[in-house]
Amino acid sequence: MAKKIVRDLEVKGKTVLMRVDFNVPMEAGKITDDNRIVAALPTIKDVLNRDGKLVLFSHLGRIKTEEDKKDKSLRPVAKKLSEYLKQEVKFVPETRGKELEDAVAALNKGDVLMFENTRFEDVPGKKEKGNDPELAKYWASLGDVFVNDAFGTAHRKHASNVGIADYSDEVAAGYLLEKEIKFIGGAVDDPKRPFYAILGGAKVGDKIGVIKNLLKKADKILIVGGMSYNFLKTQGYEIGESICEDDKLDLAQQLLDQADGKIELPLDLKVTKEFSNDAEIRIAAFDDIKEDEMGLDIGPKTLEKYTAMLQDAKTVVWNGPAGVFEFPNFAKGTEGICKALAEIDAITIVGGGDSAAAAISMGYRDKLSHISTGGGASLNYLEGNVLPGLDAVDDL
């Protein structure tokens, strides 16, 4: 996919509009995970080092009412970014208007400005999420070129990523977006083989499209996490109180029928009688779960089996944790997968969401080839869907 990248733009003296994904988790006004900020730094620094005048914008959280705006300002994000850049990040607490226009006009080469949460435009009227053309045209008018580096919203058609591109003379991808194209797009379109996928998380329903697409492309799909129990139950095994989508059992059977042996299921599981880190744990074979038990992690035999299978892999995509990794006693499966991926000679890609959060929190940020910043976007990409935010970038 040959797309124009920020390096292809002449930015010296120009006002560069850049959509970033700074939708970071916060508690009491403090950022608890700044991975998305760190991931955007290469693109930001490149524009500043080449004497561009940079205007950053992002959404943060869900905004449905005026009340929602109170703790969803990007001001703390601007402050954190200024620490990383070691220079002032001018913050404008507006999404349009004279204050913003004057601040943009006053920028000098190498300056950076961030304006307020784009989703504030959704109260009232959903102008941002509704891709309102008037809003998109206004934002485009603030700069000379547009750079999209927000992979986390690439599967959405919003004013700040797609609409603005329609009114911009030049549209390029940032280095983060380029990296997502290279790794996830490469894995889907032209993987080095053997190509294995590890799919977990709570629901089969969320990943129907991913499984169907990967069945056509992957050599093996290793199932972990909550979705395991759908596949076990549809084959007649007792799963007790384990999570399961009963309305998706027929689908699970269809996927097994289509898989022609490509889908691998757990051999054993960590089961307990209550949803708690401190609950008593039993290692149960896949066909030995009791009625009053629930599975919360894969077992040691499953981890050993999957680790051995991965040894000859050349490309691995992983989306979805192996268990309730938030509980330390049920995090060993997820951590074991991280360790296995870190030790093999392969392209290893973690597809965003909980699995990305787990890999980072467990210290594997720099031990894997790529950890995606976009949960929903990476799932859509793995399904083989066209991403509107990516499609809006100029072709080379």
**Could you list the residue range(s) of the whole structural domain that residue 340 is in?**
191-382
CATH of the domain at 167: 3.40.50.1260
What was the pLDDT predicted at 1?
61
What was the pLDDT predicted at 170?
98
Q: What is the number of domains present in the chain?
A: 2
CB 269 within 8 A of CB 297: yes
Question: Do 162 and 60 lie in a common domain?
Answer: yes
**Distance of alpha carbon 15 from alpha carbon 337, whole angstroms:** 44
What was the pLDDT predicted at 384?
87
- Angle, CA 366 vertex, CA 364 and CA 369 arms, to 5°: 100
Question: Do 19 and 128 lie in a common domain?
Answer: yes
Question: Do 195 and 163 lie in a common domain?
Answer: no
What was the pLDDT predicted at 129?
96
**Nearest-CA neighbor of 60 among 41, 80, 44, 46?**
80
pLDDT in tens, the chain (396 residues): 689 999 999 999 999 999 999 999 998 889 998 989 999 999 999 999 999 999 999 999 999 999 999 899 999 999 999 999 999 999 999 999 999 999 999 999 999 999 999 999 999 889 999 999 999 999 999 999 999 999 999 999 999 999 999 999 999 999 999 999 999 988 988 999 999 999 998 888 888 889 999 999 999 999 999 999 999 999 999 999 999 999 999 999 999 999 999 999 999 999 999 999 999 999 999 999 999 999 999 999 999 999 999 999 999 999 999 999 999 999 999 999 999 999 999 999 998 788 998 999 999 989 999 999 888 889 889 988 899 999 999 998
Question: Do 249 and 169 lie in a common domain?
Answer: no
Q: Exposure of 292 by Cβ count < 10 A (0-12 exposed, 13-18 middle, 19+ buried)?
A: exposed
User: Taking the mean position of all CA atoms in its chain, how far away is CA 356?
Assistant: 7
Enter the DSSP assignment of 355: H
**Which pTM was predicted?**
0.90
Question: Do 114 and 223 lie in a common domain?
Answer: no
Q: Which strands, in side-by-side order, build the sheet including 370-371?
A: 263-264, 220-223, 195-199, 315-319, 347-350, 370-371
CA distances from 349 to 149, 234, 236, 355, 367 (A): 19, 30, 33, 10, 11
Strands 268-272 and 294-298: antiparallel
What was the pLDDT predicted at 338?
98
CB 364 within 8 A of CB 137: no
Query: What pairs with residue 272 in β-bridges?
Result: 294
**Which DSSP string corresponds to 41-81?**
HHHHHHHHHTT-EEEEE---S---SGGGGGG--SHHHHHHH
Question: Do 250 and 350 lie in a common domain?
Answer: yes
Question: Do 111 and 197 lie in a common domain?
Answer: no
What was the pLDDT predicted at 135?
98
Strands 30-31 and 26-27: antiparallel
Q: Is 51 left (phi over 0), alpha (psi -120 to 50) or beta?
A: left
CB 368 within 8 A of CB 390: no
User: Where does a domain end: 121, 142, 176?
Assistant: 176
Classify residue 80: in a domain, yes or no: yes
- Catalytic site positions: 36, 203, 353, 376
User: Where does a domain end: 123, 150, 176?
Assistant: 176
Question: Do 361 and 293 lie in a common domain?
Answer: yes
Classify residue 185: in a domain, yes or no: no
Question: Do 166 and 258 lie in a common domain?
Answer: no
Classify residue 182: in a domain, yes or no: no
**Which DSSP string corresponds to 188-199?**
HHS--SSEEEEE
What was the pLDDT predicted at 28?
85
Tokens of 49: 């080092």
Question: Do 168 and 297 lie in a common domain?
Answer: no
Classify residue 389: in a domain, yes or no: no
User: Where does a domain end: 176, 210, 239?
Assistant: 176
- Angle, CA 331 vertex, CA 268 and CA 327 arms, to 5°: 115
Question: Do 231 and 363 lie in a common domain?
Answer: yes
CA distances from 319 to 208, 352, 375 (A): 13, 7, 9
Question: Do 28 and 151 lie in a common domain?
Answer: yes
Residue 80: count of CB within 10 angstroms of its CB: 18
